[in-house]
Every structure is written in structure tokens, then in C-alpha cells.
Amino acid sequence: MKLLKHYNVTEEFLEESLKYYRDKYGTQARIDNDHVLYLDPLSIHKDIK
């Protein structure tokens, strides 16, 4: 997975991190006024207003 290589992390670390965020924020979190992070599946989208 490119994400693992880009951030130089293990798959286990990424899975644990995503689980932590899902437990804390649910399946989505607003990054700023224009972007939403979706955790299941992992993606970032520009919010259309």
C-alpha cells in the first residue's frame, strides 16, 4: 500500500490508528471548512456546499 510506504509505518500501526480515530470520531471527521475525512473506507473529500 502506497500510504504505508509514504508515511513509513506498518500496516498494524495504520490499522490501530484508524481504529482509534473511528472510536473517537465515528466514521467521519471534518478536517477544515472544506474537507471531510471518511474512515470507512479511508478517503478525503471536498465538501460541496
The pLDDT of residue 40 is 85
The pLDDT of residue 44 is 87
The pLDDT of residue 47 is 82
Q: Is the pTM of this model over 0.85?
A: no
**Contact indicator for 10, 4 with CB cutoff of 8 Å:** yes
Which residue, chain included where needed, has cell 478525503?
44
The pLDDT of residue 1 is 74
Q: What gap in Å lies between CA 19 and CA 14, rounded to an integer?
A: 9
As for how many domains the chain has, the answer is: 1
pLDDT tens string 1-49: 788 999 999 999 999 998 998 999 899 988 898 999 898 888 889 988 6
Query: What three-state secondary structure class fits 33?
Result: coil
The pLDDT of residue 26 is 92
The parent domain of residue 12 ranges over 2-46
Radius of gyration (Cα) for the chain, nearest Å? 12
